[in-house]
Amino acid sequence: MITTMGVLSIRPRSLGWVPRHSKKPRRLVAEGRVYMWTMRHSHQKGQDGRSVDCRQTLTLTPQPAGTGGPLRIVFADGPGRYVPGGAPFGSGDVGFTRGADLNLHEPGAVRALLDVALVRGWQPGEQRAVEVDGWPLLEAAAAKRAGEAGAAGL
């Protein structure tokens, strides 16, 4: 209970998890460097009005601002792949229909993709924006996530 100028008020209890605004950048620290990251789903309308060119784009921007250009990891829909925009899958899910998958809303998945991109040559200090196809990174990142879960005894 809180009293304000002699008036008794009751503070509402926290209800636990509160959804975050999906477009607000999130903070990730990796190897002593800070990144802000966002995930966006996009698509275009075909001539028949149906969604085409469905994609998820994960953007990691080195911090502080101006210390490096953003890395955009793009997962475009295609044969043997899925990039749903929601139900029955999570909005951040990407994967192979018969294989590895990740949820791009999970910080551990983002960290695994960042680690794989760094191993494969992305330089966070490079001043220009870099866009890479996420599919060649997916299996290594998913294996990294699975290894971390196994090491944690999960």
What is the arithmetic mean of pLDDT over 26-32?
A: 93
pLDDT at residue 13 is higher than 70: no
Which own/partner contact pairs does 103-111 have at CB distance under 8 Å and 24+ positions apart? 104/39, 104/56, 104/58, 104/75, 105/39, 107/26, 107/28, 108/145, 108/148, 109/141, 109/145, 110/28, 110/37, 110/39, 110/58, 110/60, 111/28, 111/30
What is the arithmetic mean of pLDDT over 117-144?
A: 96
pLDDT at residue 89 is higher than 70: no
Contacts of residue 133, Cβ cutoff 8 Å, sequence gap at least 6: 74, 76
> How far is the CA of 100 from the CAs of 7, 116, 129, in angstroms?
58, 15, 27
pLDDT at res. 42: 84
What element of type H or E holds 70? none
What is the arithmetic mean of pLDDT over 112-118?
A: 97
> How far is the CA of 148 from the CAs of 105, 106, 151, 152, 153, in angstroms?
17, 14, 5, 6, 9
Residue 114 — very low, low, confident or very high, per pLDDT cuts 50/70/90?
very high
